[in-house]
Each structure stands twice: as structure tokens, then as C-alpha cells.
Chain A
């Protein structure tokens, strides 16, 4: 017992900060990402790979848009919507942007209340986040329907201009919408776990057979914020450019 106490000095040494800390962390012959649960490090690495996927989509969009000799359709007019009066440019996309940012805010609150072990508030904010996400997907479905049925946009042609517009639009927003949909599904799963108190009792998960804790909510939050992050880029580069 005394021996164990004498050798257990690891916690007393604070790891160095700054650039020296980077070198120390990576060369420590231990885990490189200290003070981060493995699930969070893995989620970040997944998000990095996802970043590359979306980067490639946006890059191919840039390439076809720069190389087409036909004028590119003007998104501001295509995504305009009129509420009985003059059509307001891009209003649908603006509302979707605000909905996604609002959901990011409620997600942050859920993570925060999770670490305070406020089970009920965590669940409520997770559910609100999921509902905002579902609203976003619903509006996207409306947008797709409008473009496909009313305007006749196809992946190979559209009435506005360069035919590549359709394929780029369906590919990028479709892949992003899929991410949001998966996120909503996961939000409901995590909310159910919080509701049943599985992070308090340490019940083992049905999928990983590991004991969950409230860090899971933060890891879920990382994914959700990433979905919002990607939308920031899509909104700027596809809709506004």
C-alpha cells in the first residue's frame, strides 16, 4: 500500500504548455491526446476526415463553376420566396441558417447542463436541438421539392443556366442533409440515454458495451457543431457566392 502511494506520482506532474507541450505530448510514448477522453479524440479524427470529404465536394463545385462557359445560375433569385408580396431573396436559406445556429446554441446548453449532472435540462435541450435539426431537414425537403417539381431542376440540367448547378446542389446539400438527419437520430438516442439516467448509473450501452458518461453528450455536441460548421461553408460558398 505504502509502495503504491510512493510510486503514484504521475498526477502531480503537470504536462508542459505551449509548443514544448506539443512535442512533449507527441513524444511521450503514451497517449498523444492528453486530458481528452478517447471518444472525443476519435470524434475529432472522424470530423477531420469528414472535413476532407466536404472540402472535396466544395472543391469540385469550384472547379466546375470556374470552368463552365455557360453563366452560373444566381442562387439569390432561385432560393427567393415570397410571402404574399415581393419575393425576398434567399430568405429560405437564411431561415435555415438561423435555425441551425439556434440548434448549436441549445446543444451547447445541453453539454453544459450534462456536466452539471442536470439530467432533466440536458434531456430537454437535447430534444430541442433534435427538433431544430428535424425542422432544418424538413425545410430542405421543401426546398428540394420546390426545385425538382416546380422548377424542373435535374442533376444534368436546369432552366437557369449551367447544367452542373443541379448535380453540385443535390450532391452537397444532400450530403449535408444526410449528416443532419443522422445527427437528429443520434440526438434522440443520447436524449433517451439521459432520460433513463444511464450516464448516472453507468449502465453499459447496447452497442459498445461500455459505461457511458456525460462526456458522451459533449462528443455528440462536437458532431452537431460540425454539421453547423459545414453549413457555414456551404451557405457562404454555394448560396452567397
Chain B
């Protein structure tokens, strides 16, 4: 009986070693993404340093922001190697925040025009 147990233990250990659950990837990809994040950060800082304004500024800020966020989640947080069940469970709910953003832009516009009307400070 004791012999069987010992055998089973050895078996599970060997099994665990053969299929590690952790994420193991070559260092190269991390270094490349790290460098890319530096470049993207520098780019987004340059947007301010150069002094771009208006839609171009907003577009570039959002572009660099989303690229950086995507790289961090996909590579540094290993999401691109996880199963889709986890990816969808985590990545889909934040997209719904966009509905909230839509609602609040209209709410804020309304407040702004009301303030203009009653305070006489608006356009």
C-alpha cells in the first residue's frame, strides 16, 4: 500500500515537471517589447514636447496609449499565451465602460450648456 502511494507521488511529480503550468518564454521577446515600450513612451512625450494641438494631438495620444496598453497586457502579462476563455472574461467587460463614456459625454455636454445658460459664462 505504502509502495503504491510512493509510486503515485513520483508519477504526479514527473507529470508536473513535464507540463509546467507557468509561462516560460525566451527572454528576447521581452527585451524587444521593452524597447518598443520605451520608444512609444518617447513618442507620446514628444507629442507634448513638440506642442501638437487639436485632433492630431488627441489621436496620437490615444494611439500610443492603446499600443502601449496592448503590448503590456499581451506580452508582459502573458495574455497572448493564455486560453481564450480567460482573455474574453477579462478583456470584454472593460469594453462596456465605453457605453458609460458615451453616456457621460452627453451628460457633461448638457451640464456645460446649462451652466452657459444660467451662469452666463459659457459660449
- The residues of A with any CB-CB pair to B shorter than 8 Å are 1, 4, 11, 15, 17-19, 21-22, 25-26, 32-37, 41, 44-45, 47-48, 51-52, 55, 59, 62-64, 66-70, 76, 89-90, 94, 97-98, 101, 104-105, 107-109, 111-112, 115-116, 214-215, 218, 221-222, 225-226, 228-229, 232-233, 235-237, 239-241
Bound form: Cα–Cα A98–B121 in Å: 40
Q: How many A-B residue pairs have CB under 8 A?
A: 167
Bound form: Cα–Cα A74–B61 in Å: 16
A35 cross-chain contacts in B, Cβ below 8 A? 21, 82-83
B115 cross-chain contacts in A, Cβ below 8 A? 67-69
Q: Specify which of B15, B20, B65, B111 is in contact with A233 (CB 8 Å cutoff).
A: B65
CB–CB B86/A44 < 8 A: yes
Determine the interface band of chain B, counting residues with CB < 8 A from chain A.
35 or more
Q: Would you list 25 pairs from A and B whose C-beta atoms are within 8 A, ordered by A residue?
A: A4-B8, A22-B84, A25-B83, A34-B83, A44-B86, A48-B93, A59-B104, A63-B108, A67-B108, A90-B45, A90-B48, A90-B49, A101-B41, A104-B37, A104-B76, A108-B34, A109-B30, A115-B22, A226-B77, A229-B72, A229-B73, A232-B69, A233-B65, A236-B44, A240-B57
CB–CB A66/B90 < 8 A: no
CB–CB A112/B30 < 8 A: yes
Closest to A31 in B: B85
Q: Specify which of A64, A104, A237 is in contact with B72 (CB 8 Å cutoff).
A: A104
Bound form: Cα–Cα A63–B103 in Å: 10
Q: Main secondary structure on chain B at its contact with chain A?
A: helix
| Known A-B contacts A69-B115, A229-B69; A21 and B85 likewise in contact (beta carbons under 8 Å) | yes
Chain A nearest CB, measured from B79 CB (Å): 9
Closest to B84 in A: A22
CB–CB B85/A98 < 8 A: no
Closest to B65 in A: A236
B48 cross-chain contacts in A, Cβ below 8 A? 76, 89-90, 239-240
CB–CB A115/B23 < 8 A: yes
| Known A-B contacts A69-B115, A229-B69; A32 and B107 likewise in contact (beta carbons under 8 Å) | no
Other contacts beyond A76-B48, A215-B21: 7, CB < 8 A: A33-B86, A33-B89, A63-B111, A104-B72, A115-B22, A232-B68, A235-B44
